[in-house]
Structure 1
Amino acid sequence: MTEPSPASLLGPRPPAPWLGEWWPRLRPWVLTTLAMLLAGAVALALQGLLREVRYADVMAAMHATPPSDIAFALLATAASYLALAGYDASALVYAGARVGRSTVLLTSFVAYALANTIGLGPLTGGAVRMRLYAAAGLAPPQIARVIAFNAAAFTLGITAFGALGLLWGADDVASLLHTRPGGLRAGAAVLLLALAVFLVLCLRQRTLNVGPRWTLRLPSAGLALRQLVISALELGASAAALWFLLPDDRIALPTFMAFYAIAITAGILSHVPGGVGVFEAVMLLASGAHVPTEAMLGALLLYRGLYYVLPLVLATALLASYELRSGVAAPVGRLAVRLSPRLMAALTLVAGLWLLVSGVTPVTEDARQILAALDLPLPLIEASHFLGSVAGLGLLLVARGLLHRLDAAWWAALVLAVVAAVLALPKGIALHEAALLSTLALLLLISRRQFDRRSSLFAQRLEPGWLLALGGVIAACVWVLFFAYQEVAYSNRLWWQFELDAHAPRSLRALMGVALIGLAFGLWQLLRPPAGGAAPATAEEIARAAAVVRSSPSSDGCYALVGDKHLLFSPSGRSFLMFGKQGRSWVSLFGPMGDAREWPDLVWRFVELAAAHGGRAAFYQVRPVALPLYLDCGLQAFKLGEHAHVTLPDFDLKGAKRANLRSGVNRGEREGLSFEVLPPAAVGAALPELHAVSDAWLGQQKSREKGFSVGRFDERYLQQLPVAVVRREGRIIAFANLLATDAKDEASIDLMRHLPESPPGTMDFLFAKIMLYLQAQGYQRFGLGMSPMAGMAERRRAPRWQRLGRLLFEHGERFYNFRGLHRFKDKFEPVWEARYLAAPGGVAPLFVLVDVAALIGGGVKGVIAK
C-alpha cells in the first residue's frame, strides 16, 4: 500500500492573520540568517588575516610538524578528555548520585566528543547525559543538576584559567588590544577575587538566594576547589595539545593559554558548531606577532583533526563496539548503542565537509607524481574528483536522516562513503580521506540495526537552518577555492582545461557541480507544495484506519472511527496516528496505532509536520512503555493521571468493593431489565431508539456533544462497532457502544447513556453485564478510562507539575469531580497505570491542555458552556 498523497491528508493552508502565527515559521530563518551574518564577518576577518598567506606554505608547515610533537599533542588530547571525566565525577557528587566509574568515563567521553564537534554543549552533551545517566538509575532532577554543574564548572574554570593566563601574559595581550597591561592585570585580579569570594561562600553557607523566589545550592568548598583544579588541568591540556603543534620557537605557554582562553570563549559565545572560524580567527589575530601565520594555521588544522575529529571517530567506534556484543545486558550499554546514530550523523557531516574541502584544493606534489607514474586515464581522475565532491554534498544531505535513524539515509550514506573511499585513490592518492570514509562505512555496517525507521528519504523536508547552513558551506568552499588558488589568474579558458596539472580548473568544475546540485535541491525543497493545514479524515482514510484497528490489541484506535480527527498514515499504511489541531497545538490522541516497528518514524513525521506549520506537537494520554518514542524527539513527559482496567479472566461480582455492582445487577433483574449486545449490522435498525435515549440524556445533563478523546452520537460511527443495550419491556432505556478489536486483548466503552426514568442501578447493571459478556468472549482486559490527576507524587520534593496535580485532585471538586470519579472506578478493584502528556517544556504543556479542553468541548465556547 502506498503512502497517501499530501492532498488527501491535508487541505489548503489558511494564511496567518497576525504576526504571532508567522513568527514560529520566520524564527528559524531569522536566527539562522544572523548566524550566517556572523559567519560572513568571520570570513572577512580571516580574509584580512590571510591576505599574505599561501596555501602551499600552510601545507608545508603541516607536513613539517615533527612526529614527536604530534605524539605530545595526542597525549595532551587524551589527558584533556580524561580530565573532562572529572567534570562529571564532581557533578555526580554535587547531585548526590553514585554511578559506576566505567559509566562516568563512557558518558563523559561520548558527550564531549559530540558536543565539541556539534557545539551547544549543554544541549548536545546534556542529551547524552540524560539518556545514559537515566539508564544508570539517576532521577531526572539529579541529571539536571549534573548538566547544570558541568556548565557552571566550565564557566568558572575558563574564568580562572583566563585570569591566571592574563596575569602572566598581560603585556602581550595589551599590545594586541591596544590597552595598558596594568588595567588587564587589575581585571584579572578582580576575577580571581570574585572566585575567592565564591569559595568563601561555599565554605560558609550551602545555599545562595538568587532573587526573591530562587535559591542556589552551592557545592562544598572542597568540591569547588577540586573542580577548579580539574578545570585547570583540562584547559591546560587542551591548550597544550595546540601549543605542541607550533614551531620550536613557539610562544610562551602561559601567554598562549591566555589567548587560548579568549578564543575558546569567543567560539562558545558565537554558537557556531565547534566554534569553527571564530576560534581560528582569534588565535590567528592573537598570535600574529609571535608565530608565523602559515605555521599557526597549519597547527590549527592539525589540532582540529586531533582534538575534534579523532575523538569523534573513537567515540562512534566505541558505541559501535557495543553493537558487536551479542545481547548487551547492562541498561547503559543498551542505551549507548541507541545513541550511535547521533555520533554517526556528526561523523557523516565531518566526512562530507572533508570531501568538499578536498575537492576545492590541489593535490600534493607527491600525489601528483604517483598519479603520473601510474599513468591513470585523465577522464578517470577528472570523474573521481568531480564525483567525490558530489558525494560530499550527498553526505551532508543524508546526515539529517541518520540523526532520525532512517533506513533510507543509512543506505545512502553507506553507498556514498564506499564510492567516495574508492574514488579517493584516483582522485589524488588521498589516503587519510579514504581511511576516514572506510571507517565511516565500517561503523555504518556495524550499527545497521539502529537505523530501523522505514521512510522515504525524499519525503523529509529540511528545516530552514539546514538549507542556510548548506548555503554557508558552499560559500565557505568558494572562499577556500580562491585562497588555495589565489595565484592563478582567472579566465574563461580554465573551465575547458583538462590536464593532469590543471588543479584549479578541476576544482572549479567540482565546485560548480556541487553549487548547482545544492541550488537545485534547495529550490526543490522551497518550491515543494506546502503540506497545508490539517483536513478532516475522509471516508476512505477512516476505512483504512478501521482495518488497522481491527488487528490491533489496543481498543484506543477505535476513536479514529468517530471521524472528527485527522489521520497520518505510515508509508506502508500498516500504522497511523490520529490528531487534532487547536490554535498552535497539534495533539495526537494515544500516539501511534498498528505496526510498532513503524511508530518511531510516524512520531518524528508528526513532530516535523507540526513544526513545519509553526505548531507545537504533543501526544495526549500516552502509556509509559511508549515514552522513549517522545523523549527521543525532545519532548518531555507530564503525568496526567492514571488509567484503570479490570483483568477480565479474574472478574466476578464477589467482594465488598463490588457490593454496589452486585446489588445493581440483582435489582435490575428484579426490575425486569434485560441485556443484549447488538452487532454492528443490527445497530442501524435500533438507531431511532438510541437517538431518543441520547437526546434525553443530554437534556438531563444540560450538556452538548463532545469530541476528540470522547465519542459523540454519530450514526455512521455507531454502526461500525457493537452496541450493548438494556431493555425494559422490550424498550431500550440505556446503551453503551463497545470499543473492541479482533485481537480480543482489550475492550472498553465510549458513549454510555440512559433515560432519566431508568430504574436506579441501571448503569451498574449495564457495566457488570458488559464485563461478563466480554469475559465470556475471551477478552483479557476492560478499560475503565483515565482518572485525571490521580496518582500524583505526594513527596515534598516532587516536581511542581505533580504537586499542582495533587492540589487539583484534593481541592478541585468545584471544577471537576476528580475524587468521585476515582472512587467510582476503584470499586472495580482495577489495575492502575499512569498516563502522560508528551509535550515541549516550559509553559507549553499548559497551553496544550487548554487546547485539548477546547478540542474535547468543540472549541473555547464549548468549554465555557460545558
Structure 2
Amino acid sequence: MQDRIPARMRAASQRAFPVLLGAVCAWLLMRQAGTLDWSSVGAAIQAIPPGRWALALLATAGSFWALAQYDAVAHRHLETGAPDGPARRAGAASIALGQVIGFGPAVGAAVRWRLMPSLGHGAILRLTGFVTLSFFAAWGVWVLGLALPMVGGAAWLALPVLPALGLGGALALWRFPVLRLGRVALRLPSIPAAARLLALCLLDLVCAGLALWLLLPAGTAPALPVFVAAYALAMGAGLVGGTPGGVGPFELALLALLPMVDPVALAAAILGYRLVYYAVPAVLGAVYATLARPLAMLPQPRSAPVHLSGPRAEAAVAAQASVQALRSATAGACLLRTPHSLTLFLGAQHGPISDLLAPLRAEARRQNRVACLYKVTARDAAAARRAGWIAAPHSTEAVLDPRAFDLDAPDRRQLRRALRKADRAGVSVERMTAPDWPALAEVNTAWAQAHGGERGLTMGRFCSSYLRDKPLFVARHQGRIVGFVTAVAAPGERCLDLMRHRPEAPAGTMHALVHALIRSAAREGCHEVCLAALPAPRLMRFAPGSEGLARFKSSFAPSWRPLYIAAPGRTALLLAALDLWRAVCRPEPLPPPAPSTSDWTGPQAPAQDADSAVRLAG
C-alpha cells in the first residue's frame, strides 16, 4: 500500500502539471490582454479583407489535409486494412475536436473509436499513439533543424543541421527498424513513411502559419518564413501546455517571438485564426463524427497462398523470409517483405514481369515501403528500364549444365587437384536421406562461429524443418561428419543452398561435396545446376571473403549470368539495396516452422494481394 501512494502522487502530479501551467499562462495572458485597446482590436478584425479570410480558410484546409494523411500513413504502418478515405476523414475529425477540447490524444482516440469501432480498442490506441508520437518527432526535426536557426537569426545553421538530423534519423530507422523495450517490440516507421510524415508536418506548419499570417495587416507582418518558424515554436508551447487549443502558452510564445509586430494587430489576427483554424474545423468535425456511419469491417479475404515455385529453383530459399503473393490478371510473383522495401524476388513466377510493376508499386506504397526487383535477369531488368525504373547489376551467378560437365576439361584442373587432396585425406561423400540432425547442427555451429554467424533473407539458415525435403550431401572424415551442402530443387534444376564445414575439414572437402551434387543432378536428368551468386565485380570489395568464394566457384568452370536489382528511382534503389543488405547480414530470428515445407512458403504477410483490396462498408 505504501508503494502505491508515491505512484499515485506521481500520476496526480503529472496530470496536474499541464493544468497548472495552463492556469499560469492564462493569468499572464490576461495581464497582457489588459493592456490592449480592445476597441482597436475589434476594428482591426473588421478591417481584414474578405479575400484574406477566404485564403486563410484555404490554408486551413491545406493544413488539415496534411494532418489527415497522418492517419492514412498510420493505418498502413499498423496494417489495419482500413481504406485511405475513411482513415483520413476520421483523422481530420479527431484532430479538429481534440485541439479544441484539449487532451488531444484521449479525444482523438474517442473520435476514432466512434468512427472505426471494428478496429478494436487496442488498434485505436496504437493508431492514436503512432499519430501523436510521429507528429511530435517530425515537429522536433523541423524546429531544431529550421525554426530555431531562423528565429535566432542564424538561418545558415539550417544548411548543416537539417540534413544531419534527417540523415541521422534515417540511419537510426535503418539500423533499428524494431525498438525493443523489455519484452515489448515496437516496429518503427519505415524510412519512406518517416519521409512522408516529415513532408506532411512541414506542409501542415506552413499552411497553418500561413492562415495566421494572412490575417495580419499587409505590410506589418514579418517575412513568411520567419513567421512560420515563430509559429512552429509557439505551437509547440501550446501543445506542451496541454490547454484547449493551446490557449495561453501559444499566445504568450508568439508575442515573445514577434516583438516587432503590433500587439493590437497580432491579437486581432490570433482571434481570427482561432475562428478559422479551430472553430470552423471543430464544427465540421463534430458534425461528421456525429452523423457519419461507423466503418464496418467485413471479413477479409484470405491472402493468396505463396507457392515458392517457378522457373528458378532458388525461389525455395524464400521459405525462411516474410513473403506474400503478388497477382495480376496475367502474371504472379513472390514478394519479400523487409522493413523498408517490398521486393519481387527472382522475377515473375508466371507471365511477363512488366504486368507486375504497377501492382508492385501500388502494394509497396500501401505498406509504406519502396518497391524493388531483386536478382532478376537482364531481360527483366530491360523490361523495368522501359517502364522508367532504374536497374543496376547486383550479382553474378555461376551456372553449369551437369549433363555436359566434364571433370577432365582443361579449365577444371584446379577442381581435379582439390578432389585429389580430399581423396588422399580419406574424405568420403554420400547423399544422406536420413539426416543426423544433431551432428549436422554441430557442423553448422562450428561454421557459424568461424564465419561470424549465419546470413539471412535469401541465404538459407540451418533449420531441420526447412532442410528436411532438400537434397543433402555430407562429407565424412575418419567416420565423423566434417561438412555438408544442401540444394533447392525445381524441375530440371538444382541450386546450391547451404555450405557448411568444420574449420578442420581437409582441403578439398567442399569441392567434393559440390561435385557430388553435380553428379547427382546429371543422373536425375537436370539441365542446370546453379552454384549461387557472387557480388558483382564492382561490389566485391564490400563483401569480405567473396574473393575466396569466387575462386572456389571458378574451379568448376561455370558460365556466369548477371543478375540485377531495380527500383522506381535512384533513392528508392539505394534504400532497397541497403535494406536487403541489412536483412541478409542481420537477420531476424527464424519464425516457428510450418507443418510441411512442400507447400509452406515461410512466414506469411498479413497484407492482401495488390488486386484484392480489403472490402469495407460504411
Shorter-chain TM-score: what band?
A: 0.3 to 0.5
TM-score normalised by structure 2 residue count: 0.46
State the structure with bigger RCO (CA 8 A, min sep 6), 1 or 2. 2
TM-score normalised by structure 1 residue count: 0.34
